[in-house]
Structure 1
Amino acid sequence: MFKNSLFKVKKLVLATTLLAVTGAANAGYTIKLDDGDSLTFGGYVKVDARYISGDIGATDYWYGGGTVLAESHSNFGISANETRFNTKYIHGDVTGFIEIDFYGDAVKGGGNELISNSSNVRLRHAFVKYKNVLVGQTWTTFQNTSSLAEAADFGGPLVASAFIRQGQIRYTMGALQLSIENPASYGGNNIAQGGTANDSIPDFIGKYTFKGDWGNVSLSGLARQLESKSGNTEAAVGVGVAGRINTFGKDDFRFQLHAGNTGRYVGVTAATDMVGEEIEESIAVMAAYRHFWTETLRSSVFFGYQETEESDRERYHVGVNLFTNVTKQLSFGIEVGSFAIDDNAPGAKTGDSAYLQFSTKFVL
């Protein structure tokens, strides 16, 4: 028997603590240990049933890219890959956090539909935080996670959202955050494009967040050195404004606006950093409004758009949904929307697909 009941388990909601650290508002179970230490387990189980019709290839969720098909088709699928599990250990001023999900092979999951529908485990977060310093992999400092739309489709309109998890060293001083983060010249001379990764200078990012009872607004900036396929280096800068504003009752308005050389930081492959020997310029806009019909019934309508200059691309994603909570932990949602690719470069294809998605989510 453990001395004096060495630990006890209790249920608590981590919407404040985990939101501040990871941007995830999940419930969890905490084990109280000796000396004030604690170990928390959390996450959720999410199952999506998804019907897609159009000439963009079906995926588990819409991101910034996609395959334009020769002709329209329809697809129905059920997946649970977004399901995730996390654990947090607190020891005095030190916090360690690890989170995994099951999108281990991009959006395919690594399995097949013939036998087991198995999915590979994927690392989402793994970091250590000591007082004001965070070291490890988590959301980029350039991102404001509170501004992401509530959506059945994972992440909502990712075509226009800042959305990256990567290795970094971050310092927080009140509302100001400064970080150096893992560099990668997407579209330039890096491993993903068949070259050797010669990115030798980290990305530099700063963010200042204004907060109050009204909500929050963040101003972000990034500075990078990019390498082209020929080995030339170019300086690149990008800016972003994002936030969530409380409106009427429990309603809120969420938005993001990004411009400049944001490249891989915005749109989840909607834009590259380099196009040939040129630095990509882009502008992206995301907006979402969430309305509560009752205490447990709510809807969001959202729109995302990104346009690039050098590659002459356009991406759109619009949607509207309805969510209801049966209990504090169990919710159901339905969403309809459309995703479109409109590339104007010579030889490029355009297409769009409509989708209907039903989601079940049980928060641990």
Structure 2
Amino acid sequence: MLKRSGFKTKKLLLATSLLAVTSAANAGYTIKLDDDNKITFGGYIKADARYVDGNIAATDYWYGGGTVLPESQSNFGISVNETRFNTKYVHGDVTGFIEMDFYGDAVAGGGNEVISNSSKPRLRHAFIKYKDVLVGQTWTTFQNTSSLAEAADFGGPLVASAFIRQGQIRYTLGGLQLAIENPESYGGYRGDKTTRDDSVPDFIAKYTFKGDWGNVSISGLARQLKSVTNQSESAFGYGVAGRIKTFGKDDFRFQIHGGNVGRYVGVTASTDMVGEEAEDTTSIMVAYRHFWTEDMRSSVFYGNTQTDLTDRDRSHWGVNIFKNFTKQLSFGLEVGNFEMAESDADSDYVQLSAKYVL
């Protein structure tokens, strides 16, 4: 008889494990074929009901920018696009991982809110890992995923978080990680959002200190950017991020970034280049998570990004509560605000989320 707790035959074992919310795979059913071969299937189903009111147009989640409206509007919507699935293949020292969600553009497929609400699968991760070397697409090495806030609004204050998935070659030695990653110069003339193909890969170094107390990472970024006139500009940025355990199961999460971090931080809140100059960005994100009971918790978070050339000043704060009804099923409620101060615009939101971890 099959049970969720697992069963074992001569060459087959089925087991279930719950992983961290911010990891690439949120859950997994592992089929162990033998001592060196196993396949894990995971992901989650998430439904969001979201009400937005203000003069920044409603989106499925807040990122670093938005469309400023001539006057305040309200919007209500229900979506399931954050839903995702993944597969991990392990053969001895070799691991392959693929993950997709449903934020892909559905216009060409005919999806709309009138009839079908269709959306296309979108590739998130696809990488191969052999011992200490990783090749493929996944979270940038510059990022500390454990420091992201737990939020109903996907990712929390992305406006001030390091948050990019891209192609890379990464080497890990203990707490040290070195990587070359896909280059792209984002921005150009003041207010322009064009991108150019770059010829020199981005270089990233990160060291993570870990212990029973949590973790803190220090990262550095070096790039050779291209302007719209094809001129080169050297750019350097830094980041300090982590998750610190406090009382009981509570934790404090933070990210601080500065320098020419550009597209690596804030999800379009800042650009790499403005004219012929590299933009300087300062970002800070803080979050505190408190467990009221074993199955109920809340997070309060705040993020702000400011830039020197485009004079952007953007913030996002939120407060939420989540309750697990089983280990796999949880419901959450969140209220918050997203602001683009340089445009004198902001929107409030209320979001109810239901999440079933596979």
Larger relative strand fraction = 2
| Contact in 2 for aligned 1:110/1:120 (Cα 8 Å) | no
Shift of 1:7: 4.7
Tell me how far apart the structure 2 counterparts of residues 193 and 268 of structure 1 sit (CA, whole Å): 13
Aligned alpha-carbon RMSD (Å):
2.1
Question: Corresponding residue for 1:12?
Answer: 16
Residues 182-228 of structure 1 show CA distances to partners (whole Å, capped at 9, x for unaligned) of: 00000149xx9557x44000000000000000000000000000000
Matches within 5 A, 1:141-180: 141-180=141-180
Matches within 5 A, 1:189-208: 197-208=196-207
Question: Corresponding residue for 2:3?
Answer: none
| Contact in 2 for aligned 1:15/1:24 (Cα 8 Å) | no
| Contact in 1 for aligned 2:240/2:255 (Cα 8 Å) | yes
Question: Corresponding residue for 2:331?
Answer: 332
Which structure 2 segments of 5+ residues have no match?
1-7
Question: Corresponding residue for 1:291?
Answer: 290
Tell me how far apart the structure 2 counterparts of residues 269 and 122 of structure 1 sit (CA, whole Å): 19
Q: Indicate how the Cα distance of structure 1 residues 286 and 139 shifts in structure 2: closer, same or farther if over 3 A, else same.
A: same
Tell me how far apart the structure 1 counterparts of residues 34 and 176 of structure 2 sit (CA, whole Å): 34
Q: Tell me the TM-score normalized by structure 2.
A: 0.93
Instruction: State the number of aligned residues.
Output: 349
Shift of 1:240: 0.3
Structure 2 residue matching 1:256: 3-state secondary structure = strand
Shift of 1:35: 5.2
Shift of 1:342: 1.7
Q: Indicate how the Cα distance of structure 1 residues 54 and 268 shifts in structure 2: closer, same or farther if over 3 A, else same.
A: same
Tell me how far apart the structure 2 counterparts of residues 145 and 139 of structure 1 sit (CA, whole Å): 8
| Contact in 2 for aligned 1:9/1:29 (Cα 8 Å) | no
Tell me how far apart the structure 1 counterparts of residues 77 and 197 of structure 2 sit (CA, whole Å): 40
Identity of aligned residues (%): 72
Question: Corresponding residue for 1:353?
Answer: 347
Shift of 1:28: 1.2
Q: Tell me the TM-score normalized by structure 1.
A: 0.92
Shift of 1:11: 2.7
Q: Which amino acid aligns with 1:15?
A: L
Shift of 1:120: 1.2
Q: Indicate how the Cα distance of structure 1 residues 110 and 5 shifts in structure 2: closer, same or farther if over 3 A, else same.
A: farther
Matches within 5 A, 1:1-364: 7-15=11-19, 23-24=23-24, 26-34=26-34, 36-105=36-105, 111-188=111-188, 197-343=196-342, 349-364=343-358
Q: Which amino acid aligns with 1:359?
A: S
| Contact in 2 for aligned 1:188/1:226 (Cα 8 Å) | no
| Contact in 2 for aligned 1:237/1:261 (Cα 8 Å) | yes
Tell me how far apart the structure 2 counterparts of residues 233 and 175 of structure 1 sit (CA, whole Å): 32
Residues 55-76 of structure 1 show CA distances to partners (whole Å, capped at 9, x for unaligned) of: 0000000000100000000000
Shift of 1:111: 2.8
Structure 2 residue matching 1:186: 3-state secondary structure = strand
Tell me how far apart the structure 1 counterparts of residues 206 and 106 of structure 2 sit (CA, whole Å): 29
Tell me how far apart the structure 2 counterparts of residues 162 and 175 of structure 1 sit (CA, whole Å): 19
Residues 276-322 of structure 1 show CA distances to partners (whole Å, capped at 9, x for unaligned) of: 11110010000000000000000000000000000000100000000
Deviation beyond 4 Å, 4+ runs, structure 1: 4-7, 192-195
Residues 59-103 of structure 1 show CA distances to partners (whole Å, capped at 9, x for unaligned) of: 000000100000000000000000000000000000000000001
| Contact in 2 for aligned 1:15/1:26 (Cα 8 Å) | yes
Tell me how far apart the structure 2 counterparts of residues 24 and 32 of structure 1 sit (CA, whole Å): 20
Shift of 1:32: 1.4
Q: Which amino acid aligns with 1:313?
A: R
Q: Indicate how the Cα distance of structure 1 residues 289 and 194 shifts in structure 2: closer, same or farther if over 3 A, else same.
A: closer
Tell me how far apart the structure 2 counterparts of residues 32 and 219 of structure 1 sit (CA, whole Å): 36
